[in-house]
């Protein structure tokens, strides 16, 4: 005689204690918010690997989002409380029984590893959970709290990538606890956008992440490299940390740990004018979490051999133009391109990024910025993964525009992926979504959920999406939804030709 499976209700037992979530909503989704997945990283735990959550007695309310991690973005306008004690996660599930083993989708938020949180309205997990998956989102340490490297810290343990270690801790929590929420710990898809997608790519290349997730989705990011070359190496990251300590009066790590969090954060601000890859506290090669340039790990087939779905938007450059090559004139652009790519390849460059007039140069500057910050590394991710694994790979190009989304900018696909269709604030759009927007959201959500379920986005009623192969065909997600040749292949191929053993030139560090 088989026993009836336990009914899943508002109260769930995790390894650290019981939590009480919100009542099922009209769509049947339970939401649990603000669950600690690690101990507060404060006091002596500042700049240490995340520790297990502190157990509690009784039933802990999980009714509201935890505080977001402290933001390094100067004058960050995003709402919500922030604190150093921020390592919490959220779960959305429509499972009725605890043993349903629904696919799990774990979201990593973007923000250049400098800002952002899991409480953004656009990434509410409810609509995705309605489609049969369990959705998890979480906060992770940012800026100086997440990515300070320093020789004194190395004496304790390899330093620098605490924010990435937080992500690994959240994945460990999922492995240990998600079954109680009706999820399947053996079918976890890690997905993210911008820095979140870059984290997915980095973790795919990390030996510490093996077995923690089984599929990957990357939206507008991959390896954390670009305009000024590869991510910071071991020595560069430590030099940045030592320089910061010197600026604080040759402070020791003990003294920096004693600094109030708000003062410490204010001493390490970041703005969009600075390259967050090499001019901020951000992921670096620490020889443990990140053992090498991530693209090189893919080139050598040392990454996780799992299904991958990844792509980019047609106007990725929109938030990043402050870091473009000079655009005041065609001649200034040509001179900057010669300094960056070499005079011997300038003619080839200008065939792809035309600069015959100031207007042409302005358009090419925008295209080049989006390609270097986001697009080319996404393309490399698809190519390198396909070449080194038998796991299925799917590529997309999001070019959808409408009154609701007048520019297919960086981040504009997120409300479609989550089905939230919140205002497109990054591009300043205030138009409400229309029926065409809602239809596209349903299509994209179905693709993502199908991929999370079985590693293939295709399904009944959806336009066919072919696997990515040597023909460089990507699925266009726009007014038309269909496979087409990569529209930026020539541009990406030119930029990719500068990679040596997976890495972009270190000399690009010095190009203004």
For the segment 211-255, what is each residue's pLDDT rounded down to a tens digit? 999 999 999 999 999 999 999 999 999 999 999 999 999 999 999
Distance between CA atoms of residues 92 and 137, nearest Å: 9
pLDDT in tens, 331-388: 999 999 999 999 999 999 999 999 999 999 999 999 999 999 999 999 999 999 999 9
Burial (Cβ within 10 Å: 0-12, 13-18, ≥19) of residue 328: exposed
State percent of the chain over pLDDT 70.
99
Average the pLDDT over each of 3-17, 131-145, 154-168, 298-312 and give the range with the smallest value: 3-17
pLDDT in tens, 130-180: 999 999 999 999 999 999 999 999 999 999 999 999 999 999 999 999 999
Residue 312: count of CB within 10 angstroms of its CB: 34
Out of 72, 150, 410, 446, the active site residue is 410
pLDDT of res. 5:
66
Q: In what order do the strands lie in the sheet with 308-313?
A: 30-36, 88-93, 134-138, 102-108, 183-193, 215-219, 308-313, 393-398, 473-477, 481-485
Give ∠ CA 474-389-478 in degrees, rounded to 5.
15
Strands 11-14 and 17-20: antiparallel
Residue 409: pLDDT band (50, 70, 90) is very high
Question: How far is Cα of residue 126 from the mean position of the Cα atoms in its chain?
Answer: 20
Decide: pTM greater than 0.95: yes
* DSSP assigned state of 512: -
Q: Walk me through the domains of the chain, giving residue ranges and CATH numbers.
A: 27-72+79-319+374-510 (3.40.50.1820)
- Examine the residue annotation and report whether 317 is marked as an active-site residue of this protein: no
Out of 194, 206, 220, 446, the active site residue is 194
pLDDT in tens, 96-134: 999 999 999 999 999 999 999 999 999 999 999 999 999
Strands (DSSP E) contained in 201-307 are 215-219
Residue 437: count of CB within 10 angstroms of its CB: 20
Query: Span 297-322, mean pLDDT?
Result: 96
pLDDT of res. 87:
98
Residue 4: pLDDT band (50, 70, 90) is low
- Examine the residue annotation and report whether 109 is marked as an active-site residue of this protein: no
pLDDT of res. 1:
36
Residue 291: pLDDT band (50, 70, 90) is very high
pLDDT of res. 308:
98
Residues 6+ apart with CB under 8 A from 142: 69, 70, 71, 72, 111, 113, 114, 115, 116, 163
Out of 316, 317, 376, 413, the active site residue is 316
DSSP 329-383: SHHHHHHHHHHHH-GGGHHHHHHHS--SSHHHHHHHHHHHHHIIIIIHHHHHHHH
- Examine the residue annotation and report whether 329 is marked as an active-site residue of this protein: no
pLDDT of res. 2:
43
Residue 78: pLDDT band (50, 70, 90) is confident
Query: Span 188-202, mean pLDDT?
Result: 98
* DSSP assigned state of 98: T
Query: CA of 226: how far to CAs of 356, 455, 498, in Å?
Result: 25, 29, 11
Spell out a b/e string for 158-193, using b for 16 or more CB atoms within 10 Å of the CB, else e. Answer: bbbbbbbbbbbbbbebbeebbbbbbbbbebbbbbbb
Query: Hey, which residues does 229 pair with through a beta bridge?
Result: 226
Residue 191 has pLDDT above 50, yes or no: yes
pLDDT of res. 171:
98
The two most distant CA atoms of the chain are separated, in Å, by 81
pLDDT in tens, 445-475: 999 999 999 999 999 999 999 999 999 999 9
pLDDT of res. 366:
96
Residue 11 parent element (H or E): strand 11-14
Residue 93 parent element (H or E): strand 88-93
């Amino acid at each position: 005689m088989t026993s009836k499976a336990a009914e899943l209700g508002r109260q769930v037992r995790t390894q650290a204690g019981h939590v009480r979530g919100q009542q099922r909503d009209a769509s049947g989704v339970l939401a649990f918010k603000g669950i600690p997945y690690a101990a507060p990283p404060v006091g002596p735990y500042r700049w240490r690997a995340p520790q297990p959550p502190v157990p509690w007695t009784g039933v802990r309310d999980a009714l509201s989002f935890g505080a977001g991690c402290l933001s390094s973005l100067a004058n960050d306008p995003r709402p919500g409380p922030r604190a150093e004690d921020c390592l919490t996660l959220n779960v959305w599930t429509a499972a009725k029984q605890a043993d349903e083993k629904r696919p799990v989708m774990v979201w990593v938020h973007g923000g250049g590893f400098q800002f952002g949180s899991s409480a953004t309205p656009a990434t509410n997990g409810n609509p995705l959970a309605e489609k049969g998956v369990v959705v998890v989102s979480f906060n992770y340490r940012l800026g100086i709290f997440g990515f300070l490297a320093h020789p004194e810290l190395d004496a304790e343990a390899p330093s620098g990538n605490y924010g990435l270690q937080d992500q690994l801790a959240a994945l460990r929590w999922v492995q240990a606890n998600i079954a109680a929420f009706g999820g399947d710990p053996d079918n976890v898809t890690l997905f993210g956008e911008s820095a979140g997608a870059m984290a997915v790519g980095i973790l795919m290349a990390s030996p510490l992440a093996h077995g923690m997730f089984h599929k990957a989705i990357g939206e507008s990011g991959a390896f954390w490299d670009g305009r000024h070359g590869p991510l910071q190496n071991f020595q560069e990251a430590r030099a940045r940390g030592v320089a910061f300590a010197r600026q604080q009066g040759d402070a020791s790590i003990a003294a920096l740990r004693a600094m109030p969090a708000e003062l410490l954060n204010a001493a390490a601000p970041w703005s969009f004018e600075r390259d967050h890859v090499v001019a901020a506290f951000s992921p670096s090669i620490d020889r443990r979490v990140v053992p090498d340039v991530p693209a090189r790990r893919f080139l050598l087939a040392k990454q996780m051999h799992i299904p991958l779905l990844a792509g980019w938007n047609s106007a990725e450059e929109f938030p990043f133009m402050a870091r473009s090559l000079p655009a005041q004139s065609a001649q200034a652009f040509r001179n900057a391109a010669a300094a960056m790519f070499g005079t011997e390849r300038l003619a080839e460059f200008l065939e792809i990024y035309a600069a015959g007039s100031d207007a042409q140069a302005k358009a090419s500057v925008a295209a080049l910025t989006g390609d270097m910050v986001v697009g080319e590394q996404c393309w490399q991710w698809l190519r390198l993964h396909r070449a080194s694994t038998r796991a299925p790979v799917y590529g997309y190009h999001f070019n959808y525009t409408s009154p609701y989304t007048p520019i297919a900018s960086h981040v504009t696909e997120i409300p479609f992926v989550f089905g939230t269709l919140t205002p497109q604030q990054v591009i300043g759009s205030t138009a409400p979504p229309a029926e065409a927007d809602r239809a596209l959201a349903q299509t994209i959500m179905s693709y993502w959920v199908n991929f999370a379920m079985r590693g293939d986005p295709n399904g009944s009623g959806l336009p066919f999406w072919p696997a990515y192969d040597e023909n460089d065909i990507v699925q266009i997600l726009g007014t038309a939804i269909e496979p087409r040749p990569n529209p930026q292949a020539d541009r990406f191929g030119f930029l990719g030709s500068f990679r040596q053993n997976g890495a972009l030139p270190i000399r690009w560090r010095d190009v203004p």
